Amino acid sequence: MKVAVAGTGYVGLVSAVCLAEKGHTVTCVDVDENKIKLMRKGVSPIYEKDLEELMHKNKDRLTYTLDYKSAYNDAEVILIGVGTPEQEDGSANLSYVRSVAKQIADSIEHDCVVVVKSTVPIGTNDKVEEFIKNNLKNCVKIYVVSNPEFLAQGSAVHDTLKASRIVIGTEDEEAREIMEKLYKPFDLPMLFTNRRSAEMIKYASNDFLALKISYINDIANLCELVGANIEDVTKGMSYDGRIGDKFLNAGIGYGGSCFPKDTKALYYLAKNQYDYELKTIKAAIDVNVTQKTKLFFEAKRKTDTFYKRNVTVLGATFKPGTDDLREAPSIDNVKLFLKEGADITVWDPVGLNNFEKLFGDKIQYESDIRKAIEKSDIIFIMTEWAEIKNLDLNLFNGKVIYDGRNCFDLKDVKKYKFEYHSIGR
């Protein structure tokens, strides 16, 4: 099938490349000329495992362009994969979705299915369909389908090609048949529902995972007070099939482009449009905010001053396997260290360039983890990179370690000569 994809971020580009991998001809559209130039050279503008390899493999089925008219005018399916960032009040910014909807209305010359893959508030697909139909330049038939993604950064390609399910929300039998044809090569379970249910499935799934993380962090904080070990607690919980063992790792909270944004967006929607307060979601948000800087304030209580102290932050990104810094705990903590007058060094295997865009010459950047450790008096671990977990712990001797990701076994730590603090243990 002939497919166009609007947006080349994590959702758009990964979707496009995976569709090409399954035999479709795909045109990727973006407004950023630099990104288009990179992709035409076979270079991915985002750090994502296996993505560049598949871009090269499927280069004959992938086109990258700034010209949305040529991409949309005869496409059978158009995927909207642009960002829906958080606004100041917590609501989702739909300006990019609206912009693409207008371009589609201006451009399409044949019947087509418009697929909204972006995470959007419930009811948005209805509005997109109404807008496009009211503004069509040509006499064509369009269907709008909700098709949320469930990928995780760092494993996005795998999560798309080997998805647990494909959720499709549509009101039309014709659209259903086209979506079945689009995804038939994937040979994955497909759930068909109406559009609003599909939109809610995405939010309900993400917010449940965020809630699970905040819940276990709350329990971990109590474990410290009562003398329990959170890792033993979660292991005991995990044997219950109703609970499982996923998203039960205590730490300094969640970040990234999904959980923070989607929890706030759903809470805002319920509160402001329906006067209904999602108390559990509000609790997840509140716990996460304080959890991010928990270790900073713990260290501050035990340290006279951070002024001119050599502080090293190991891990800048919100999780391993990505260069994404959105809502990363490292950012909140570095800002606090700067206010305290600390001399800060940050190490990360892939995120330093993005981190430097935020902090410039206010801090130091070190690509060699051993050198970063040598420079420090106090070390804060913010991301559970394998390079950190596989370290020779002798390197920490004489240091004070605050481990926000519980990277090391307590039995191992006791064999070495450094002060060690972690979460819930």
Give catalytic residues, as residue numbers: 258
Nearest to 199 by CA among 144, 153, 243, 156: 144
CA–CA distance, 215 with 217 (Å, rounded to integer): 5
